[in-house]
């Protein structure tokens, strides 16, 4: 093989590796969960896609907590007008005929099914509702601020705060690493809770409880030293 051909081969391999690395975090895992009692539901409460469905390393159970951008198929038995496919909005809610907005974030499919059924009882007798999670798009976290690779990353397994910082390629030189803040949706998707953490406390002191396990939708913010405001006198 001459030198020109060898160089072309090296460039081609490098490009393939680069594309594979760039796409590592591009797609969120997709699977389907079902809650309710509609005919055809599996006894385990979980439905998977067809033969060619993308496999995920995530272990999804009926305890799955729904989040923003998840796609839900809601079926009201023998009532096509009330059945629809919806995407959870950024505010954590979905909109349904008759009953309007319902909070979905922070709930399991079974919990959401129970509320929708209860609210539909004002309009019909003994409604039978089932919910299928068609797409899981909310198993993602956001690492923002003074990290070397800020962005949105999917959670493919249990991930701690320190692991998330590592995924984002660590702190920049001006990071206030002891002033980390994690913003997390509150109960039933209402509001945002603020969780503070110190890198030095976690690593050097007895602060391992600050190395929290992250949840879908968590926003990790690492401010710069110049953003840290001194308390007013």
Architecture of domain 140-227: Roll (3.10)
Q: How far is CA 176 from the centre of its chain?
A: 26
Domain 32-135 falls under CATH 2.60.40.10: no
Checking if the pLDDT of 8 tops 60, the result is no
- DSSP calls for 192-207: EEEEEE-HHHHHHSS-
Tokens found for residue 149: 């690779």
CA 87/CA 173 separation, integer angstroms: 39
Q: How far is CA 1 from the centre of its chain?
A: 49
φ, ψ at 21 (rounded to 5°):
-70, -40
* 21-25, 137-141, 208-212: segment of lowest average pLDDT: 21-25
- In contact, 207 and 186? CB cutoff 8 Å: no
The pLDDT assigned to 62 comes to 80
Instruction: Provide the percentage of residues in the chain whose pLDDT is more than 90.
Output: 51
Predicted model pTM? 0.54
Instruction: Count CB neighbours of 150 within 10 A.
Output: 17
The pLDDT assigned to 201 comes to 95
Q: What is the pLDDT of residues 158-197, one digit of tens each?
A: 899 999 999 999 999 999 999 999 999 876 556 789 999 9
Tokens found for residue 221: 């913010």
Q: What is the pLDDT of residues 111-166, one digit of tens each?
A: 999 999 999 999 999 999 999 988 888 888 999 999 999 999 988 788 999 999 99
- Helices and strands, counts by H and E, the chain: 4, 12
DSSP 8-state secondary structure symbol assigned to residue 30: -
Which band of pLDDT confidence, cut at 50, 70 and 90, is reported for residue 230?
A: low
Instruction: Provide the percentage of residues in the chain whose pLDDT is more than 70.
Output: 70
Tokens found for residue 57: 């390393």
Strands (DSSP E) found in the chain: 32-36, 46-47, 71-76, 84-87, 93-96, 100-103, 129-135, 140-145, 151-154, 180-185, 192-197, 219-222
Domain ranges of the chain: 32-135, 140-227
């Amino acid at each position: 093989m001459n030198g020109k051909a060898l160089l072309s081969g090296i460039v081609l391999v490098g490009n393939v590796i680069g594309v594979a690395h760039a796409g590592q975090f591009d797609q969120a895992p997709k699977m389907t969960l079902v809650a309710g009692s509609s005919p055809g539901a599996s006894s385990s409460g979980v439905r998977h896609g067809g033969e060619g469905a993308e496999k995920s390393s995530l272990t999804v159970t009926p305890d799955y907590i729904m989040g923003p951008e998840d796609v839900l198929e809601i079926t009201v038995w023998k009532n096509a007008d009330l059945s629809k496919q919806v995407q959870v909005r950024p505010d954590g809610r979905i909109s349904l005929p008759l009953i309007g907005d319902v909070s979905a974030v922070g709930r399991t499919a079974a919990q959401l099914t129970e509320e929708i059924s209860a609210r539909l009882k004002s309009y019909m007798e003994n409604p039978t509702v089932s919910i299928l999670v068609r797409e899981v798009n909310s198993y993602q976290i956001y690492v923002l601020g003074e990290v070397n690779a800020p962005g949105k990353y999917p959670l493919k397994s249990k991930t701690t705060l320190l692991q998330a910082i590592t995924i984002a390629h660590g702190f920049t030189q001006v990071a206030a690493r002891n002033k980390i803040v994690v913003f997390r949706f509150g109960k039933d998707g209402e509001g945002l809770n603020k969780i503070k953490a110190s890198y030095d406390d976690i690593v050097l002191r007895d602060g391992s409880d600050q190395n929290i396990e992250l949840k879908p939708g968590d926003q990790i913010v690492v401010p710069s030293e110049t953003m840290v405001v001194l308390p007013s006198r």
